[in-house]
Amino acid sequence: LSELPVELAITGPAAPPRSNGEMVFEAPWESRLFGMTLALVEADRFVWGEFQQRLIAAVGRWEAEHPDGEGYHYYDRWAEALDSLLDDLGIVAVETTDARARALADRPAGHDHHHGPEASPAAHDGD
């Protein structure tokens, strides 16, 4: 591992905790990614060790490119590892996921509010 002259954060998401109370995931997408990966392992699409080797490689690449360690996000590396494994196994190509993500980004605001035909947006103000 490279020499990292960074100080451990005192506050914020990477701060050393004094108790067991913090959240396991910092954002919902992290939990979805985690759950998908485990579900794929349970479904025998790949074994955990294969994913882990990808994760080690992704973390190592990032650290080689960011010697100060600033801006590290574990689940970004997790996403990169899963992408590369699914791509190589022919399960989902990275470009396919990118294209789907772009399509999702182009959705109109409020797309995930399932209004009935008569419902007006104002009726859902308290969501």
| Interaction residues for other proteins, span 50-79 (CB under 8 A) | 52-53, 55-56, 59-60, 63, 69, 72-76, 79
Dihedrals φ, ψ of 116, to 5°? -75, 170
Q: Which is nearer to other proteins, 3 or 118 (CB)?
A: 3
Rounded Cα distance between 91 and 110, Å, is: 31
Min dist CB 60 to other proteins, Å, is: 7
Closest CA to 4 of 67, 82, 89, 80: 67
Site for other proteins (CB under 8 A): which residue of 11, 19, 65, 116? 19
Q: In this complex, which beta carbon is closest to other proteins, that of residue 13 or of residue 117?
A: 13
For other proteins, the binding residue among 65, 112, 116, 118 (CB under 8 A) is 112
Contact 116, 75 (CB under 8 A): no
Q: Is 125 in the site for other proteins (CB under 8 A)?
A: yes
Distance (Å, whole) CA 77 – CA 22: 21
